[in-house]
Amino acid sequence: MIFVMFLGFAVLMVIGVPIAFAMGSASLLFMQAKDISLAVAAQKFFSNTQSFSFLAVPFFILAGNLMVESGIAKKLINFASVLVRQLPGGLGCVSVVTSMIMAGISGSSVADASSVGAILIPEMNDQGYPKSFSAAINATSSVVGIIIPPSSTMIVISYITGLSVAKMFLAGAIPGILIGLAYLAVTIWMALKNNYPREERASKSEIIAASVDAAWAMLFPVFMLGSIILGIATPTESASICVVYSLLLGLLVYRSLNMKKILRALKDSAIGTTVVMMVVCTATIMQWILVSNNIPTMIADFLLGLNLPYALMLFVMILILFFAGMVMDNVPNLYIFLPIFMPIAIGMGMDPIHMSIVVLCSLAMGLFTPPVGTTLFISCNIAGISIEECVKDLVPFFITGAIVILLVAYCPPLTVFLGNMI
């Protein structure tokens, strides 16, 4: 019956049913076939909504939306521009650096792809960059949004595994920055290879003006992480404080927020939170079914029974996550694979924080790879091209990202160093 459940889930996904409804329907099908009371499904569905830690998700989403509505993206793009626009492929480099900075504010790859892409992709097209390149650079660079803290996806991981949110946030910082820098190097290489334009170097006065203008926004991640690391606030409390900070910044400092924009931010946050929680709640039901039938244990025992060496076992798990990220969203993948891979990793002597970041980074690659590829769809839509036209320019970024993830996987200090400081 487990096979039938997954088959039903796959069929529903193929015909275009939203993933939350596909997971929920497949799970209910299994429960009906096994004569399990639907009251159990209702109980499991609503169990996550009672979690205090999950309150951080809507607060972080709201804080990010308020920052976007405040026009923060334009200020950060200008700041990134004065820093790197003189490099080969100037605007492409600006896109990468802006996504890295935005990641510390929005905590969402989708939000980064939308807000940064809406401004930079048309500008890159006007400057003579191929549409495929501008879409590819926006789609790939925005994946650091869920790796560099704060990240709502990390909160989900922390809830599933019981790990510290603060340590997760710190652990993701170095891998996220490494991926961003690697994509910056790829951008420069592609620009030199294809003779893409670069901009004039910014003057000192431009640099100072842009830095001052973006300073308050740049304090956002420092403010948020500092309150958590110093023990001043829990992640949920810090997220709520960040909402207040975003409001004050937009109303009093930049004076760019009005009631219309605030209401739009509230609406977008409600929709975003609903989407995330629907996936989380239905994934919880499917996870309960899998655990109740010992499926994670059976798969873990099978993999361990192969007696693969540590390095090869880790590589196999990363490879599975790469393919899983291509066909399914991150949250359901986390609920399915973390219960399977985490015991294997711990049994091999891996730090659970380290393994969590490896899982997150591996799945993040799926954000810009078909057929799911959320950031890819957004970027191609903004650029006005098909996904097929963009694939060629995606390949160097995928290969580079995969290399960095393997480096992170086989070099644990890159993740655990900062986390062990608290």
Is residue 162 over pLDDT 80?
yes
Does residue 403 surpass a pLDDT of 90?
A: yes
| DSSP percent split of the chain into helix, strand, coil, nearest 5 | 80, 0, 20
Grade residue 316 by pLDDT with cuts at 50, 70 and 90: very high
Confidence of residue 1 (pLDDT cuts 50, 70, 90): low
Q: In the structure, what pLDDT confidence band is assigned to residue 250 with cuts at 50, 70 and 90?
A: confident
Q: Which residues, in sequence order, are CB contacts of 80 under 8 Å at separation 6+? A: 94, 97, 98, 101
Mean pLDDT value of segment 10-39 = 83
Q: Which pLDDT score is estimated for 422?
A: 66
Per-residue pLDDT band at 320 (split at 50, 70, 90) = very high
In angstroms, the CA 396 to CA 403 distance is: 11
**Cα–Cα dist 334/287, whole Å:** 10
Model confidence at 216: pLDDT above 90: no
Q: What percent of the chain has pLDDT over 70?
A: 97
Q: How far is the C-alpha of 376 from the C-alpha of 397, rounded, in Å?
A: 12
> Which pLDDT score, from 0 to 100, does residue 362 have?
94
Kindly tell me if the per-residue pLDDT of 253 is higher than 70. Answer: yes
Give the pLDDT of residue 119.
Answer: 85
- CA dist., res. 306 & res. 283, Å (int): 29
Q: What is the pLDDT of residue 12?
A: 82
For residue 201, is pLDDT > 90? no
- Span 391-408, average pLDDT: 93
pLDDT-derived band at 341 (thresholds 50, 70, 90) equals: very high
**Does the pLDDT at position 381 exceed 80?**
yes
Q: What is the pLDDT of residue 48?
A: 66
> Taking 80 as the threshold, does the pLDDT of residue 247 lie above it?
yes
Tell me, what's the pLDDT at 312?
93
On average, the pLDDT of the chain sits at: 85
Q: Where are the alpha helices (DSSP H) in 127-203?
A: 131-141, 152-161, 165-194
Tens digits of per-residue pLDDT, 135-157? 999 999 999 888 988 888 888 89
Q: Which has more pLDDT, 52 or 316?
A: 316
Angle of helix 374-383 relative to helix 387-410, nearest 10 degrees, comes to: 140
Q: Which residues of 382-398 are buried (b: 16+ CB within 10 A; e: fewer)?
A: bbebebebbeebbebbb
